[in-house]
Structure 1
Amino acid sequence: MLQSAEFFNRDISWLAFNGRVLEEAAKPNTPLIERVKFLGIFSSNLDEFYRVRMPVLKALEKISKKDSNDFDFDEQAKVLHQAGNIIHEQQVRFGDIFVNQLIPGLREKGVHVCYSEEFPDFVKSEVSDYFLSEVMAFLQPVPLDEKAIFFPENNKLYFIVQLKDKDDKEQLMLLNIPSDQLPRFFTTQTDDGQIIFFLDDIIRYNMDKVFRNMEIISCYSFKITRDAELDLKDEYPGDLSEQIEKQLSKRDAGLATRFLFEQGLPLRILEMLRMELKIENATTVEGARYHNLKDLVSLPVSNKDLAYDKWPPIDLPEVKVARTIAEVIEEKDLMVHAPYQSYHPVLRFFNEAAINPDVVEINVTLYRVASDSRIVNALISAAKNGKKVNVVVELKARFDEANNLKWAKKMKAAGVSIIYSITALKIHAKIALVKTKRNNRIKYTGLLATGNLNEGTARFYTDHILLTANTKLLREVELLFIFLAKRQKVSSPDMIGFEHLLVAQFNLQSKFLALIDREIGFAKQGLPAQITIKMNNLEEEVLINKLYEASQAGVKIALIVRSICRLIPGVAGMSENINIRRIVDRYLEHGRVFIFGNNGNMELFMGSADWMNRNIYHRIEVCFPVYDEDIKKEMMQLIDFQLNDNVQAVRIDDSLNNVKIEANGNHLSSQRAIYQFLQRKN
């Protein structure tokens, strides 16, 4: 039942989402390889939680009561304790799924994952040869003492090895597990199938070849997770790229937030490690034999029958080789639903603009860039072809800073005009604008999307990309690019009069509040009133309170929220007209969609913005209206599939539980239904 607070805690809500990911690994109807991958995703998510959120929780816990009169310290301590309990329970569940379900299941299919067991005799020679020829070169043993120069890097794997020399004197040695330089898994084929070994175990088995003439008493694995935050000043007079570059070199040297060690590590050695490695303030977590199980995402299982059936990307029927994308969208708006549909129209949009002699200018925002970005290469070619190219590169995209910085330098060298955001304001919008000059007239074509312009993530993130020649929208996109080029703060929400676009820092929050108010007005008149919203995260209290108000007025509200959700649904007198679903499936749900009933004249908006504090108050976000009636109808069908999903969707209840949706009749998996629906269009 509802607690006294009117909002779920952000971090507990996020852990509930990760629990849903974990449960996907437990589902017997999910293919075995995919279940293993969900374990890897869960583990990766948890690492990020310790890098990003746990430092915040621990810092809040330590705030002096003198520093704040209205801060609930007891509640904060309770949250930290609750988070620790949830993580522990989830880790126990993780072990049960992997050891008792997936490893036996894989073995039945001819895949033997050698897990905490002796190596079979017939592979020992092969494993030792691999160690001596490939692994040994990367090992760097270091004594554990005050004289040693050793710094355990973030989320890298190590052993603490207890040894005795010929004089029976104890030595403690640190030894790296080079999984960042070598594959985490080694595999070999036998007549009975495939055997997969952990790199960790290969080193353990050959430890005597590292410490010759020493007796090996014990060996335990550990890793340290460090704070990921970059220390950027709000006002920086120099080149932001230089500041980012300097800070990136320090990130892996951040404060330790978690010390994860193998069960059974003697307390004496544990305390020596904490003292010598200067990690006394980190949360100590006793774990199993293996860490960094995010590597399970790349478990090298050769039997592809144990994976999802293939869904080849669908070609859009409107797109023909004989016509350019610009010609197509000058006649009619085009919407690409990635990854169900081919991303080629998006790539062609940039490729054709780069080579078209009539194109005079290209503007684009880049937040997370693919490691081998075809889009960026097209922009480089455009600049070399004499076109004016302006690229807003967000260097503060967490964990993508180095890659974005690399591409920014390459583009700048090619003549692209690079625009960095000011330090305190991220550019999260997903927009592009191409200006073409024909017969002394400028024409606009453009792109507005719910996700990053990244052909890598487009293979498994569900996003929607609108390609349009709508002048009303694109003139406002141009106004935004002009503003971004000036690298100014938003001094007033009215400094640019956006009528069509919803832009954070300008009119996005106020417009959404007005749209909700309009539905409240309809409900009070006894007219149909409904709101359907799909997003990744729902946190910001002003907008949540407005949804509570709408529910109390009788507006029917359906939410699809993938991860963080602070709104508490189904509470009498507050949110009884709000229901929330969460969908976890083969693709990561990523699109943001906002639908307002408008008394039968439905309005549809899409875009980059979740309803989080960072998106509303600290970023430039763009949401855009969809005016094309065919696209609106199609989007409504896709959302309808998701609202009726009773296979991969769960319902979030008023206690933050992921509640299974009972299938009364036909089973419907929304992602499969969407793929089949778009196939039929062809």
Structure 2
Amino acid sequence: MEQQTIPLNDRDLSWLYFNYRVLSMAGEASVPLYERVKFLSIFSSNLDEFFRVRMPALLALHHLREGEKGALAAAQQEIARQLNEYGKIFTQSVLPELREKGIRVYYGESPAPEHLPSIRDYFYNTVLAYLQPVRIQFGQPMELFLENNALYLVVCLEDGGTGVVNIPSDHLPRFLRLSGNDVIFMDDVIRQHLGFLFPHVGITAAYSIKVTRDAEIDVDEFSGHLLQKVEDMLVQRQMGVPTRFLFDAAMPDALRDQLGEYFRIAALEMVPGGRYHNLRDLSDLPLPAAPSLEYPKMPPAHCHAIDLDKPLLDQIQAGDKMLHVPYQSYDYILRYFNEAATDPDVREIYVTLYRVASTSRIVHALMSAAKNGKKVTVMVELKARFDEANNLRWAKRMKAAGVRILYSIPGLKVHAKVALVKRKRGFSWDHTALLATGNFNESTARFYADHILFTRHQGITQELELLFIYMQTGIAPGKFNFMHFEHLLVAQFNLVDQFTSLIRAEAEAARAGKPARITIKLNNLQEKSMIAELYAAADAGVEIDLIVRSICCLVPREGIRVRRIVDRFLEHARVFIFHNGGEEQVYLGSADWMNRNLHRRIEVCFPIYDPVYRRQLKDIIHLQLTDNTNAVILGADARNLPVPREAGAAEVNAQRDTYAYVRQL
């Protein structure tokens, strides 16, 4: 099949349209006010990551390929449009509504006189300890290095000189709560006292700046021991080349150009912004308790298929169990690892860890298991972007506790989320497996929507053991008469071939005049060969429904509908449903359909054999396909389009209704 001719939407614009959907949630009056503040924070954080990870590629293509120059311009134009709307939502909607609720966030305004003493005391007693004011000399070699994503004020002095002072938001809270419910940016606490930092000369103006640096560094390019490679990479990342110089748009052009020359910033990397940067810090805005301004609480439900008074490992031996988090409690996952750590019959534990909680109770259970004499083997992915330092820290601690640590496979990331526990009772062994669509991370599990399977299925547990043998030895299943994967779909082995076969089987059924349907939920869809297979299936008459949260390069067409859901929880699960002549095949897993996932990672997708859980998954997916509140439809250009709702039609909110559904299971 000729992949080069298939229609595709631009990857980066598709992602930017996703982030625009996040921004639009901040502008919706139906979203509680405090939650709108959080969406503003998430949008800003997402955009920072885009400039660290994707903008370097766009800049490189702009310089290398004449035909790619339009991609950079289109992305920059879309970003400028979104930032303009961001400013309007924040200043003309969110801030005024906060003030109506008695919460005043000073935004470019002078604080009330009664606040000046407390601002003064905070500056001299706390903030001043972290400040490094310097005068810079234009035309001289650069003596000041702007740290990645750090905040600075450029200060214009009456004698014609220029000063720069850091805003230490990495060390102190970004906001100072004043008496009542008034709040001031730390930036303005410093602005109030610039005369102290640059004495004996007047201050004429101050403008905020920040530099974002390239974070896309391939650890496989380094030489030496892997741990040292990662540590070197973390240092190099902070020294990466600039991809964005964000400056206050009120700054005079002449000063901007001088700063660009001094800090060696190219014109393409200069982006005008507002008075304040790093508005991802809005997530830490000190807001008074007000339940009416937040989403209604959704305390995780108990999973009634699990008896809290009986050992979980024994219950799994009696039959599969499935969790839908965060609608159901993540405590069962913690219990699984805690029981494995202390059950005297458990001999071996195997786990893959991709993103670990900063205070991980799961890791503590694994360390306890090793200290309890069990053989514990953990594959720690040291190349998990932006989690490298945390994973490295935990890997060292686990190794010191006696855990056998497996580090990254050269050229591959291990993105699978699986665990295997082996017990020996008398002369017999039993195995239980834990397979998930999301990380073993109790922190993110509070707001990532995922599905988790506990199973004792002999075929699945045996194949999981084969995968861990491969990760330990490099010996692939199928060599030396080892078993092949028949139940699990594993990237690098059979995952692409099996998904291709499943899609083609639906196409054959459609051509034969039989019912044929495919429903797939992903975070990202970009890999050309899989998109081509979906196009071919739709052309054959297969009805295809896709739920794609973020990047979607597939162009919707007749027979293929694409939805996106952005709501209080991050839709993170990957779900694959094939009609299969009425005997539906349902898979869950860790794999998006991206080049990196299918060709440069170890991913695991796993079948759901229990008809009860297949029905639950189908019911949840049905709610997502009928959501007419927070879902949008993707147009042919990848933009978000509203879901049409017929007059009198019932309101469907997938996340709210999934919570109600799960509670009554």
Alignment correspondent of 2:587: 605
Please say if residues 477 and 484 of structure 2, whose CA atoms lie closer than 8 Å, have aligned partners that are also in contact: no
Alignment correspondent of 1:174: 164
Alignment identity in percent? 49
Change (3 A) 1:422 1:493: farther
One-letter amino acid matched to 2:148: N
Q: Deviations over 1:436-464 (max 9, x none)?
A: 00111111011000010000000000011
Distance 1:640 1:163 in 2: 62
C-alpha displacement at 1:271, in angstroms? 2.3
Distance 2:465 2:221 in 1: 26
C-alpha displacement at 1:265, in angstroms? 1.6
One-letter amino acid matched to 2:302: D
Does the residue aligned with 1:45 lie in a helix, a strand or coil? Answer: helix
C-alpha displacement at 1:493, in angstroms? 14
One-letter amino acid matched to 1:679: R
Aligned length: 656
C-alpha displacement at 1:490, in angstroms? 9.4
C-alpha displacement at 1:286, in angstroms? 1.2
Please say if residues 256 and 281 of structure 1, whose CA atoms lie closer than 8 Å, have aligned partners that are also in contact: no
Please say if residues 257 and 281 of structure 1, whose CA atoms lie closer than 8 Å, have aligned partners that are also in contact: no
Please say if residues 326 and 446 of structure 2, whose CA atoms lie closer than 8 Å, have aligned partners that are also in contact: yes
Change (3 A) 1:579 1:495: farther
Distance 1:476 1:248 in 2: 35
1:581 maps to 2:556: no
User: Unaligned stretches of 5+ in structure 2?
Assistant: none
User: What is the aligned counterpart of 2:544 among 554, 557, 572?
Assistant: 557
1:331 maps to 2:303: no
Q: Deviations over 1:249-303 (max 9, x none)?
A: 1211100000000122223322222222222366101111000011112211113
Alignment correspondent of 1:69: none
Change (3 A) 1:209 1:414: same
Please say if residues 6 and 532 of structure 2, whose CA atoms lie closer than 8 Å, have aligned partners that are also in contact: no
Does the residue aligned with 1:233 lie in a helix, a strand or coil? Answer: helix
Alignment correspondent of 1:117: 109
User: Unaligned stretches of 5+ in structure 1?
Assistant: 66-72, 571-575
Does the residue aligned with 2:310 lie in a helix, a strand or coil? Answer: coil
Alignment correspondent of 1:185: 175
Change (3 A) 1:148 1:7: closer
Please say if residues 161 and 173 of structure 1, whose CA atoms lie closer than 8 Å, have aligned partners that are also in contact: yes
Distance 1:101 1:490 in 2: 58
Q: Deviations over 1:327-367 (max 9, x none)?
A: 11111111111111100110000000000110000000000
Please say if residues 20 and 658 of structure 1, whose CA atoms lie closer than 8 Å, have aligned partners that are also in contact: yes
C-alpha displacement at 1:552, in angstroms? 0.3
Distance 1:634 1:537 in 2: 23
Distance 1:39 1:606 in 2: 31
TM-score (structure 1 length as normaliser): 0.94
Distance 2:483 2:134 in 1: 60
Alignment correspondent of 1:667: 651
Distance 1:124 1:38 in 2: 31
User: What is the aligned counterpart of 2:75 among 76, 80, 83?
Assistant: 83
One-letter amino acid matched to 2:252: P
Change (3 A) 1:299 1:235: closer
Q: Deviations over 1:349-402 (max 9, x none)?
A: 000000011000000000000000000000000000000000000000000000
Distance 2:222 2:235 in 1: 21
Q: Deviations over 1:15-40 (max 9, x none)?
A: 01011111111110000011011011
1:149-298 → structure 2 map (5 Å cutoff): 149-164=143-158, 169-190=159-180, 194-233=181-220, 236=223, 238-280=224-266, 283-298=269-284
Please say if residues 470 and 476 of structure 2, whose CA atoms lie closer than 8 Å, have aligned partners that are also in contact: no
C-alpha displacement at 1:218, in angstroms? 1.4
Alignment correspondent of 1:677: 661
Q: Deviations over 1:480-537 (max 9, x none)?
A: 0000012468999998510000000000000000000110111011110000000100
Please say if residues 492 and 506 of structure 1, whose CA atoms lie closer than 8 Å, have aligned partners that are also in contact: no
1:381 maps to 2:382: no
Does the residue aligned with 2:161 lie in a helix, a strand or coil? Answer: strand
One-letter amino acid matched to 2:540: A
Please say if residues 477 and 485 of structure 2, whose CA atoms lie closer than 8 Å, have aligned partners that are also in contact: no
C-alpha displacement at 1:171, in angstroms? 2.0
1:488-637 → structure 2 map (5 Å cutoff): 497-570=484-557, 576-637=558-619
Change (3 A) 1:160 1:235: closer
Please say if residues 606 and 623 of structure 1, whose CA atoms lie closer than 8 Å, have aligned partners that are also in contact: yes
Please say if residues 256 and 282 of structure 1, whose CA atoms lie closer than 8 Å, have aligned partners that are also in contact: no
Does the residue aligned with 2:469 lie in a helix, a strand or coil? Answer: helix
One-letter amino acid matched to 1:154: N
Distance 1:602 1:229 in 2: 40
